[in-house]
């Protein structure tokens, strides 16, 4: 067995269906698959659901860090997310649209809530999704 490399995610076929995968992150093992509608067996979250989960977790963690630092009375955070492909404004092709509904519980002022909404856009995953990226691939 190879040593676990920090920040490395390994995805291997699970053999539980045509698209079913094991996703290994450090000591955590999760399942990924496509829904039955797309030919999978729905044995785990879809790749886009994992992407949304990353955005939601990053959003909640960023808001928690900010509220804690400010000593604001934020009791609970919940984030609901959706992803759609919509026509590009230029008329050619499609773009990805991510919708994020943030639910905050606590005795926050309207000003604090407004600031937390601004902070949500500064979470690292949100910023990654809003800028161009490069994906490098190689065969090993």
Same domain, 52 and 95: yes
Length of the chain: 140
Residue span of the structural domain in which 98 resides:
47-129
Domain total in the chain: 2
Per residue of the chain (140 residues), give pLDDT as tens: 445 557 899 999 999 999 999 999 999 999 999 999 999 999 999 999 999 999 999 999 999 999 999 999 999 999 999 999 999 988 889 999 999 999 999 999 999 999 999 999 999 999 999 999 999 999 99
Same domain, 54 and 82: yes
Residue 71, in any domain of the structure: yes
Q: Residue 117, Cβ neighbours under 10 Å: how many?
A: 13
Distances from the Cα of 72 to the Cα of 35, 61, 89, 108, angstroms: 40, 15, 39, 7
**pTM (two decimals):** 0.90
């Amino acid at each position: 067995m190879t040593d676990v490399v920090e920040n490395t995610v390994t995805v291997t076929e699970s053999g539980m269906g045509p698209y079913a995968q094991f996703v290994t992150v450090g000591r955590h093992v999760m399942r990924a698959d496509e829904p039955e509608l797309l030919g999978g067996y729905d044995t785990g979250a879809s790749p886009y659901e994992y992407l949304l989960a990353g955005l939601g977790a990053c959003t909640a963690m960023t808001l928690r860090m900010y509220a804690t630092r400010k000593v604001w009375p934020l009791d609970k955070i919940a984030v609901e997310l959706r992803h759609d492909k919509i026509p590009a404004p230029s008329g050619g092709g499609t773009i990805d649209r991510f919708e994020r509904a943030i639910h905050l519980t606590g005795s926050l002022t309207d000003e604090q809530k407004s600031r937390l909404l601004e902070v949500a856009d500064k979470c690292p995953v949100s910023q990654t999704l809003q800028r161009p990226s490069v994906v490098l691939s190689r065969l090993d």
